[in-house]
Structure 1
Amino acid sequence: MLGPHAATALALVDTYGAVAVFAVFALEGALVGKVLPARTLFVAAVVAVGVEAVAVLPVFAAAVVGATVGQSAVFVAVRRFDADPTSLSVVPVSDDAVDGVGRWFDRWGLPAVAASNAVPGTRGWLAVPTANAPSVSAPRFAAASLVGSAVYAGALLAVGIAVALGFGSASALLGADLTAALLTAAP
C-alpha cells in the first residue's frame, strides 16, 4: 500500500503531468515549506509515465527547470528587493543554516551552488548568500543552480526507473496493473 504522499503524488501526476512536477520543484527551489515532498512526486511521476526516455524527459526537465526558476526567484528577490526569505515562517531555513552554507560559497564560489543543489537537505540554501555577492550575476547563479539540479534530478531519475522496473516486475507477477491496485488500496 502506498503512503498518503505517494498516492497524492501519483494523483497529481495523473491529472497535471509534468506541470505538477514543475510547480512542486519551483516551490522547493524558492525555499517554501514542503507542500508535498518533491522526491516523492518525482519518483511517482517516473513510475506513472514509465521508463522510456521520451516519457521521462519532460519529468526530468520540469524538475530541473522548476528548481532553477524557484531558486532564481529567491536570488532576484534578495538582490533586488533586499528580501529576507529566512524571516518567513514558510521558509524552513534558519539564519544559522544560511550562514553555514554562506561559508561554503565564500570558500568555493559558484561550484558550491551546484554542489549544494545536488545534495538533499541543502538544495537552494545558497541563493540567499550568493545574492549578496556582487560578483555573481543572476545568469551565472542560474547556470550553477541548473547544473546541481540536473545532477539531483538525474539521481532521482535512477531511483524512479528502479522503482518503476520493480513495479513492472511485480505487476507482471501479479498479472494486474500494480499502480492502479496500489492507488485503490491507498487511504
Structure 2
Amino acid sequence: MFGAHAATALALVDSYGAVAIFAVFALEGALVGKVLPARTLFVASVVAVGVEAVAVLPVFAAAVIGATVGQSVVFTGVRRFGVDPTSLAIVPIGADRLDGTTRWFDRWGLPAVAASNAVPGTRGWLAVPTANASSVSAPRFAAASLVGSAAYVGALLAVGIAVALGFGSVLDLLGPEWAVAL
C-alpha cells in the first residue's frame, strides 16, 4: 500500500516537478499529509534532479514554502474559524499530544514552533495550541514555521545529496554497463 502511494507521488513529481513537492509538503504542513511519504519523495526528487544548486533550489523552496503554507492554513483555520483538526480521522494527533505541545509552547514561545518544525514527527503540531492559546500573529507564526521548515528541509537536502552522490559512486564502481541498465 505504501509503495503505491510512493509510486504515485513520484509520478506526480516527474510530471509536475516542484509543484507536486509543494502540494505534498503543504498537505503535510496542514497535518493531513502525514500519510504521504514527504521525506522519501523529497530525497528521491533531489536524487532525480541531481546535486546542482540550480536544479535543487526549486525543490527546496517548494518544500519549505509548501510546509509553511500548510501550517499557516491550520493556524488560521483554528484561530479564525474554530476548526479542530484533531477531530478529523486523517489528522494523527490526539488530545494528549496537544496538551504536551501546549506546555512546550507556553514555556518556549515561538522558538518552540521553529524547533518543532525542524524535528521529524512533531512538525506542525504547535499550530493548533499556538492559535488557541496565544496572541501570536499569523505572520509571526508563519516566520517561525518557515525557519523550522527550512532547517528540516535543509537536513533532508543534505541526505538527498549524500544519497545522490553515493548512488553515483556505486554506479561508477559497477561500470558503464550497469549505469546504462539502470
TM-score by length of 1: 0.89
Distance, in Å, in 2 between the alignment partners of 1:31 and 1:122 is 10
Question: 1:167·1:178 contact (CA, 8 Å) conserved in 2?
Answer: no
TM-score by length of 2: 0.92
Q: Given the alignment of the two structures, is residue 87 of structure 1 paired with residue 75 of structure 2, yes or no?
A: no
- What amino acid is aligned across from residue 127 of structure 1 in structure 2? A
Question: 1:22·1:65 contact (CA, 8 Å) conserved in 2?
Answer: yes
> How big is each residue's C-alpha offset from its partner over 1:112-169, in whole Å with a ceiling of 9 and x where there is no partner?
0000000000000000000013420000000000000000000000000000001111
Question: 2:67·2:149 contact (CA, 8 Å) conserved in 1?
Answer: yes
- What amino acid is aligned across from residue 140 of structure 2 in structure 1? R
Partner of 1:156: 156
Partner of 1:59: 59
Alignment length (residue pairs): 179
- What amino acid is aligned across from residue 39 of structure 1 in structure 2? R
Ranked by relative contact order (alpha carbons within 8 Å, sequence separation 6 or more), the top structure is 1
Q: Given the alignment of the two structures, is residue 140 of structure 1 paired with residue 140 of structure 2, yes or no?
A: yes
Q: Which runs of 5+ in 2 are unaligned?
A: none
1:10 to partner: Cα distance: 3.4
Question: 1:9·1:44 contact (CA, 8 Å) conserved in 2?
Answer: no
- What amino acid is aligned across from residue 116 of structure 1 in structure 2? S
Question: 1:18·1:58 contact (CA, 8 Å) conserved in 2?
Answer: yes
1:36 to partner: Cα distance: 2.1
Structure with bigger helix share is: 2
1:173 to partner: Cα distance: 2.9
Q: Given the alignment of the two structures, is residue 12 of structure 1 paired with residue 12 of structure 2, yes or no?
A: yes
Q: Which runs of 5+ in 1 are unaligned?
A: 182-187
Partner of 2:72: 72
Distance, in Å, in 2 between the alignment partners of 1:118 and 1:179 is 38
Question: 2:72·2:142 contact (CA, 8 Å) conserved in 1?
Answer: yes
